[in-house]
Structure 1
Amino acid sequence: MLSTKPALQLVTIGYSERKGAEYDQPFYWAINESSDATFYLHSMKRRGENLGLEYRYVLDESSKGTLMFDFLNDKEVDDGTPDSTENWGYEDDDVLRPNSNRYWFRMKHDQSMPFDISLKLDIDIVSDQDYLHEFKGGYTGFDKTDKYFNETFDRDLDEYDDPVRLNRLNLSRSWSSYSLNAEARWYDDVITRRQGDTDTTLQKLPFIEFNASKQRLLNTSSYFDLDSEYTYFFRKDGTKGHRVDVHPRLYLPIRYKNYFTFEPSFGVRETAWRINEDEDTSTENDWKLHRELYDIALDLSTELFHIYHINGKDIDKIRHSIRPQIVYDYIPDDPDLSLYPNFEEEIDRVKKKNLVTYSIINTFTSKSKKHTVERDKYQKIKYNEPNYIYREFCRFKLEQSYDINEAKEGNPENWANKEEKRPFSPIYGELELAPGNYFSMQADAKWCLYEKNFLSHNVAANISDKRGDKIFVEHRYIKNSSKSIYTDFLLKISDRLSTYSSYERNIYDRKTMKSSFGFLYNAQCWSIELGYTHEEDDRKYTFMIHLHGLGGFGSSIEGYHM
Structure 2
Amino acid sequence: MCNFFTGKKMTSFSKRKHLLFHTAIAFFGCIIFLFLQDQASADPVYENPKEIPWHISALSVTFDNARDLYVAEKEVIITGGKTRLEADYVEFSNKTKDAFAQGNVILISGEDSISCNAMNINLETEIGTINKGSIFIQKDNFYINGANIRKTGKFTYSAEKGSITSCSGDSPDWKISGRNVKVTIEGYGTARDAVFWAKEIPAAYTPFLIFPVKTKRQTGFLMPGISNSKRKGYQYEQPFFMAISENFDATLYADYMSDRGTKTGVEYRYILDNKSKGSVFFDYLEDSKTDDGTAGTENYSFSGTPQRTNTDRYWFRMKHNQALPNGFSAKLDLDVVSDADYLHEFQDGFSGYRQTKTYLETEYGRSLDEYDQTIRKNRLNVNKSWSAYVLNMDALWYDNVNLRRQDGDDTTLQTLPAVQFDAIRQQLGNSQFYYTLDSEHRSFYREDTTSDLVKGQRTDFYPRVYFPMRLNKIFYFEPSLGARETIWYTDDFTSEDGDSDSLRTRHMADFGAEISTKISRVFNTDNLFAEKIKHEMIPKIQYSFIPDVGQGDLPIFDSLDRIAEQNRITWSLTNFFISRKTFVTPEDKEIRTYRDFAYAQLSQSYDIENQKENHKEPFSDILLTSIINLNEFVAVNMDISWSPYDNDYNIFNIGNTVKDKRGDALAVEYRYERDLLESVYSEIDIALTDQLTAYYTVEKNLEDDRTVRTQAGFILKKECWTVELAAAETKDDSSVGILVTLHGIGEIGNGPKKILVSDPRYQNWRMNL
TM-score, scaled relative to structure 1: 0.90
Matching residue of 1:339: 553
Note the C-alpha offset of 1:537. 4.2
Are the counterparts in 1 of residues 726 and 752 from structure 2 also a CA contact under 8 Å?
A: no
CA–CA separation in structure 2 for the residues paired with 1:313 and 1:105: 54
Q: Which runs of 5+ in 2 are unaligned?
A: 1-185, 187-214, 494-499, 754-769
Q: For 1:150, which of 345, 361, 382 is the aligned residue?
A: 361
1:61 lines up with 2:274 in the alignment? yes
Are the counterparts in 2 of residues 4 and 32 from structure 1 also a CA contact under 8 Å?
A: no
Matching residue of 2:438: 227
Equivalent position amino acid for 1:427 in 2: I
1:128 lines up with 2:339 in the alignment? yes
Matching residue of 2:577: 364
Query: Which string of whole-angstrom CA distances, capped at 9 and with x for unpartnered residues, describes residues 208-247 of structure 1?
Result: 1111111111111111111111111111112211111111
Are the counterparts in 1 of residues 575 and 600 from structure 2 also a CA contact under 8 Å?
A: yes
Are the counterparts in 2 of residues 171 and 181 from structure 1 also a CA contact under 8 Å?
A: yes
Matching residue of 2:100: none
Equivalent position amino acid for 1:302 in 2: T
Name the SS for the 1:146 alignment partner: helix
Q: Residue 236 and residue 364 in structure 1: after superposition, are their counterparts in 2 closer, same or farther (change >3 A)?
A: same
CA–CA separation in structure 1 for the residues paired with 2:354 and 2:721: 24
Note the C-alpha offset of 1:357. 0.6
Equivalent position amino acid for 1:114 in 2: P
Matching residue of 1:272: 487
Name the SS for the 2:490 alignment partner: strand
Q: Residue 290 and residue 547 in structure 1: after superposition, are their counterparts in 2 closer, same or farther (change >3 A)?
A: farther
Are the counterparts in 2 of residues 15 and 557 from structure 1 also a CA contact under 8 Å?
A: no
Query: Which string of whole-angstrom CA distances, capped at 9 and with x for unpartnered residues, describes residues 23-44 of structure 1?
Result: 2111111112111111111112
CA–CA separation in structure 2 for the residues paired with 1:25 and 1:79: 30
Matching residue of 1:493: 688
Q: For 1:253, which of 458, 468, 471 is the aligned residue?
A: 468
Matching residue of 1:215: 426
Q: Residue 549 and residue 350 in structure 1: after superposition, are their counterparts in 2 closer, same or farther (change >3 A)?
A: farther
Equivalences for 1:4-403 in 2 at 5 Å? 6-84=219-297, 86-93=298-305, 95-238=306-449, 239-277=454-492, 287-312=502-527, 315-335=530-550, 337-345=551-559, 347-374=560-587, 383-384=588-589, 386-403=590-607
CA–CA separation in structure 2 for the residues paired with 1:475 and 1:463: 15
Greater shift in the superposed pair: 165-174 or 459-468: 459-468
Structure having the higher Rg? 2
Name the SS for the 1:219 alignment partner: coil
Equivalent position amino acid for 1:147 in 2: T
Note the C-alpha offset of 1:352. 0.7
Are the counterparts in 1 of residues 349 and 750 from structure 2 also a CA contact under 8 Å?
A: no
Equivalent position amino acid for 2:331 in 1: K
Are the counterparts in 2 of residues 27 and 40 from structure 1 also a CA contact under 8 Å?
A: yes
Name the SS for the 1:149 alignment partner: helix
Matching residue of 1:440: 635
Matching residue of 2:725: 530
Name the SS for the 1:262 alignment partner: strand
Name the SS for the 1:87 alignment partner: helix
Equivalent position amino acid for 2:319 in 1: K
Note the C-alpha offset of 1:126. 0.9
Are the counterparts in 1 of residues 266 and 281 from structure 2 also a CA contact under 8 Å?
A: yes
Equivalences for 1:442-481 in 2 at 5 Å? 442-481=637-676
Equivalent position amino acid for 1:534 in 2: E
Name the SS for the 1:28 alignment partner: strand
Matching residue of 1:281: none
1:552 lines up with 2:747 in the alignment? yes
Q: Residue 360 and residue 43 in structure 1: after superposition, are their counterparts in 2 closer, same or farther (change >3 A)?
A: same
Equivalent position amino acid for 1:402 in 2: Y
CA–CA separation in structure 2 for the residues paired with 1:20 and 1:363: 53
Matching residue of 1:379: none
CA–CA separation in structure 2 for the residues paired with 1:292 and 1:506: 47
Name the SS for the 1:339 alignment partner: coil
Note the C-alpha offset of 1:257. 3.2
Name the SS for the 1:226 alignment partner: strand
CA–CA separation in structure 2 for the residues paired with 1:424 and 1:348: 26
Are the counterparts in 2 of residues 393 and 433 from structure 1 also a CA contact under 8 Å?
A: yes
Q: Residue 251 and residue 352 in structure 1: after superposition, are their counterparts in 2 closer, same or farther (change >3 A)?
A: same
Note the C-alpha offset of 1:145. 0.8
Note the C-alpha offset of 1:274. 0.9
Equivalent position amino acid for 1:167 in 2: N
Name the SS for the 2:419 alignment partner: strand
CA–CA separation in structure 2 for the residues paired with 1:117 and 1:448: 48
Are the counterparts in 2 of residues 215 and 224 from structure 1 also a CA contact under 8 Å?
A: yes
Are the counterparts in 1 of residues 348 and 752 from structure 2 also a CA contact under 8 Å?
A: no
Note the C-alpha offset of 1:151. 0.9
Greater shift in the superposed pair: 459-468 or 52-61: 459-468
Name the SS for the 1:276 alignment partner: coil
CA–CA separation in structure 2 for the residues paired with 1:308 and 1:501: 41
Equivalent position amino acid for 2:372 in 1: D
Query: Which string of whole-angstrom CA distances, capped at 9 and with x for unpartnered residues, describes residues 450-478 of structure 1?
Result: 11111221111111223333221111222
Equivalent position amino acid for 1:338 in 2: G
Note the C-alpha offset of 1:312. 4.4
Are the counterparts in 2 of residues 299 and 326 from structure 1 also a CA contact under 8 Å?
A: yes
Note the C-alpha offset of 1:549. 7.0
TM-score, scaled relative to structure 2: 0.66
Q: Residue 496 and residue 305 in structure 1: after superposition, are their counterparts in 2 closer, same or farther (change >3 A)?
A: same
Note the C-alpha offset of 1:112. 1.5
Equivalent position amino acid for 2:718 in 1: A
Name the SS for the 2:360 alignment partner: helix
Name the SS for the 1:143 alignment partner: helix
CA–CA separation in structure 2 for the residues paired with 1:348 and 1:548: 58
Greater shift in the superposed pair: 73-82 or 256-265: 73-82
Note the C-alpha offset of 1:351. 1.1
Name the SS for the 1:258 alignment partner: coil
Are the counterparts in 2 of residues 314 and 369 from structure 1 also a CA contact under 8 Å?
A: no
Structure having greater relative contact order (Cα 8 Å, sep ≥ 6): 2
Greater shift in the superposed pair: 228-237 or 549-558: 549-558
Equivalent position amino acid for 1:479 in 2: R
Query: Which string of whole-angstrom CA distances, capped at 9 and with x for unpartnered residues, describes residues 417-444 of structure 1?
Result: xxxx311111111222122221111112
Are the counterparts in 1 of residues 375 and 399 from structure 2 also a CA contact under 8 Å?
A: yes
Matching residue of 2:72: none
CA–CA separation in structure 2 for the residues paired with 1:372 and 1:229: 55
Are the counterparts in 2 of residues 170 and 183 from structure 1 also a CA contact under 8 Å?
A: yes
Note the C-alpha offset of 1:202. 0.8
